[in-house]
Amino acid sequence: MSFSTNQFLLDGKVAVVTGAGGRGNSIGRAYALGLANAGAAVVLADIDADGAEAVSEEIVSAGGKAVAAGVDITQPDSVSQMVRAATEAFGGIDILVNNAALMVELTQGATAVDIPIEEWNRIMNVNVTGALNCVQAVVPVMRKRGGGKIVNQVSGGAFPAISIYGISKLALVGLTTTLARQLGREKINVNAIAPGNVMSDAGRQLTPDGSPFVKFLEATVAMRVRGAPGELVGALLLLCSPAGEWITGQVLHVDGGWVLRP
């Protein structure tokens, strides 16, 4: 089959993006806008229902299709309600972007030796189990539609994992490859995006100019150290569109050459 740039279009597709509201200039917002611009109807899912509604209104005012859904991804019943809302609004789900996660909310510098188990469980419950809750609720709908795309948001900080956050994202990499193997014959692609140092509002809060982490990146990253949320959208569209039909079980690093892998 010959290639056409039309293969990046998502007309008629329905996408759910978790963590799509709140924090202003966020990766979730950039993903939602990018999917809508490519033609998808987008469900903005976030525990911050007002934030999700704001991004939904932004898409609709620009001529796109979107609805907001308040959801707590750690609660299967809440996730099921989100899936029902998406199905009622747009007839089904073709794309799931597991973007919601705890990052800026974490106790910075907590070590594995000293972290309270309650805090550990909270991180894993959101960053790993929350993604699985969404997958378990969405996959039956994708099966009815003959396939789908799942994209999990991991992190350059998982390669290698040297923080609790990094551990949670490395676990999500494992979930990605496992799901890719188990769902591939059902035409459900499962991949991950590993961003580098993104200048979202949360990213600026965690790694301000002159911080030790930024100085470390300046000494190691092959190209530009920092990127904007919108610079992740091209990778997302590849993994969510027919252009990426033969890609599954992969982690796509978008980080200016921070993590260099063969």
What is the set of active-site residues? 165
Closest by alpha carbon to 240, among 55, 20, 36?
A: 36
Please state, in angstroms and as integers, the Cα–Cα distance from residue 228 to each residue in 14, 100, 159, 204, following that order: 25, 18, 21, 11
Please state, in angstroms and as integers, the Cα–Cα distance from residue 60 to each residue in 42, 48, 66, 92, following that order: 10, 19, 6, 19
79 CB-near residues (< 8 Å, 6+ apart): 71, 72, 73, 133, 134, 137
53's tokens: 């509604």
According to DSSP, the residues that pair with 254 across neighbouring strands are: 195
194's tokens: 């590993």
Q: Determine if the peptide bond prior to 140 is cis (ω within 30°).
A: no
| Helix runs in 67-149, H state only | 76-90, 117-124, 130-144
Amino acid letter for position 201: D
Three-state secondary structure string covering 189-203 = EEEEEEECEECCHHH
Dist CA 56 CA 67 (whole Å): 6
